[in-house]
A = this chain, B = another copy of it.
Amino acid sequence: MPRPDVPDLVERARRGEARAVARLISLVESGADSDAGAADLRAVAAALAPHAGRAHVVGLTGPPGVGKSTSTSVLVGALRARGRRVGVLAVDPSSPFSGGALLGDRVRMGEHATDDGVFIRSMATRGHLGGLAWATPQALRVLDAAGCDVVLVETVGVGQSEIEVVALADTTVVLLAPGMGDGVQAAKAGILEIADVFVVNKADRDGAAQTVRDLRHMMSLDGGDGGCGWQRPVVPTVAARGEGVDELVAALDAHREWMDAGGERTRRRLARAEAEIQAITLERVRARIGDRSGLPRLAERVVAGELDPYAAADELAHSVTGR
């Protein structure tokens, strides 16, 4: 296969060509997944750098069954109704789907499939480091460079991926639903701390008002702002009927405006860039250790009792870094 003409693809993606967007994301995915693709990944990253950083990146997370796919879909509709271009990245560590099939409510998302103001992409989480670390930030930059005003990142599954989405998003939406033992479960998983906006979906069900009250009470206990001056709103929705979605869009816009006014968005992006650069650098050091260091000989000396592992690490660091 000939090497792709990356600058040309980026130009076409910037003009909104869906096929170029899809091709770039595929390059990013395979680049994060294999050494062979690493050069393409680097070329894409270099070509995108000047054209990204404009989109509002919104992460959506929450326990399974809470209605993330449905909420994402109706949110796309509401944003499109306001004339905004929207990208959707559904990140699923376990999905067999990739390359365009959205998880969950595919029929519902199907109504957006022919809309050229929407890019929808699902990704399996891949890469040498696992998790979202490698491919997803670059895939976000592709959608950003393609002119999306908002990019929605929907995580599937729980635990680590919920935390990682925060590292990627400007605004993190945590979805809960009544009757799921939300308070305790969410607190346990640490997802309450990461929320900028709470959604209580399925708000027509028993216990919804209580869940909203519980959350607002919790907000009041910690001053409501996690100590950073933002009053985290609790938005009741019935996503399946589109109820509360306008309020959710308003909450997202308000958070973006608050971030821009106080410099918070830049602070978050700097922290994100630091984490990304550091992860890439450490992976490179790890690869260098694997390639050509004296590690096996050092291990022999440790096993023989001639050296302790800390002294061995001194020697290894010296051989790898020259210091």
Residues of A in contact with B (beta carbons under 8 Å apart)? 41-42, 45-46, 48-53, 137, 266, 269-271, 273-274, 276-278, 280-282, 284-286, 289, 295-296, 298-300, 302-313, 316-317, 320-323
Given the complex of chains A and B, what is the CA–CA distance between A261 and B299 in angstroms? 21
CB distance from A301 to the nearest CB of B (A): 9
Cβ-neighbour of A278 out of B48, B316, B323 (below 8 A): B316
Q: Say yes or no: B270 contacts A310, CB within 8 Å.
A: no
Q: Say yes or no: B296 contacts A286, CB within 8 Å.
A: no
Most B CB atoms within 10 A — which of A42, A46, A309, A320? A309
Q: Say yes or no: B266 contacts A309, CB within 8 Å.
A: no
With A45-B309, A137-B309, A320-B321 given, is the CB distance from A282 to B285 under 8 Å? yes
Residue of B nearest to A312 (CB): B277
Given the complex of chains A and B, what is the CA–CA distance between A46 and B310 in angstroms? 8
If over half of A's interface residues share one DSSP class (helix, strand or loop), that class is named, otherwise mixed; here it is helix
Given the complex of chains A and B, what is the CA–CA distance between A121 and B53 in angstroms? 52
Given the complex of chains A and B, what is the CA–CA distance between A278 and B310 in angstroms? 10
Q: Say yes or no: A321 contacts B285, CB within 8 Å.
A: yes
CB distance from A303 to the nearest CB of B (A): 5
Residue of B nearest to A52 (CB): B305
Q: Say yes or no: B274 contacts A307, CB within 8 Å.
A: no
Chain B residue contacts of A302, Cβ below 8 A: 49, 273, 276-277
Chain B residue contacts of A281, Cβ below 8 A: 285, 289, 313, 316-317, 320
Residue of B nearest to A267 (CB): B303
Q: 14 other contacts beyond A45-B311, A46-B310, with CB at 8 A cut-off?
A: A42-B308, A48-B308, A49-B302, A53-B303, A269-B303, A276-B302, A277-B295, A280-B309, A280-B313, A281-B313, A281-B320, A285-B317, A285-B321, A321-B321
With A313-B284, A321-B320 given, is the CB distance from A278 to B307 under 8 Å? no
